[in-house]
A = this chain, B = another copy of it.
Amino acid sequence: MIRARQLFGPGPGNPYPEATAALGLPILGHLDPLFIAMMDETCDMLREVWGTQNQRTIPLSATGSAGMEAAFVNTVEPGDVVVVAVNGLFGQRMVEVASRCGAEVVAVEHEWGLPVDVDRVLSAHPSPKIVAAVHAETSTGVRSDVAALGAGKGDALLLVDAVTSIGGLELRADDWGVDLGYAGTQKCLGVPPGLAPFTISERAFARRVERPRSWYLDLGLLGGYVGEAASSGGGRTYHHTAPVAMVASLHAGLRRILDEGLPAVWARHEEAGRILQEGLQARGLELFAAEGHRLPDLTTVVVPEGVDSAAVRRLLLERHGIEIGAGAGPYAASVWRIGLMGHNARPDAALTVLAALDDVLAAVG
Contact = CB atoms under 8 A, between A and B. Distances in A.
A215 B100 contact: yes
A69 B215 contact: yes
Closest 8 A/B residue pairs (Cβ): A194-B243, A24-B24, A192-B245, A62-B62, A23-B23, A65-B240, A4-B26, A193-B241
Given A69-B215, A233-B326, 18 more contacts: A9-B29, A12-B27, A12-B241, A12-B244, A14-B26, A14-B27, A33-B317, A61-B194, A62-B66, A63-B240, A63-B243, A64-B240, A68-B216, A100-B214, A194-B194, A214-B214, A233-B313, A233-B332
Interface string A86-103: 000000010011001100
A30 interface: yes
A242 to B, nearest CB: 7
Interface string A213-235: 11110000000000000011110
A14 B29 CA distance: 9
B193 A244 contact: yes
Contacts of A193: 30, 241-245
B23 A24 contact: yes
A116 interface: no
A2 B25 contact: yes
Contact of A192 (B97, B211, B215, B244): B244
A32 interface: yes
Nearest to A233: B310
A282 to B, nearest CB: 27
Contacts of A194: 61, 194, 243, 245-246
A125 interface: no
A92 to B, nearest CB: 12
A145 B200 CA distance: 44
Contacts of A212: 100
Interface in A189-210: 192-194
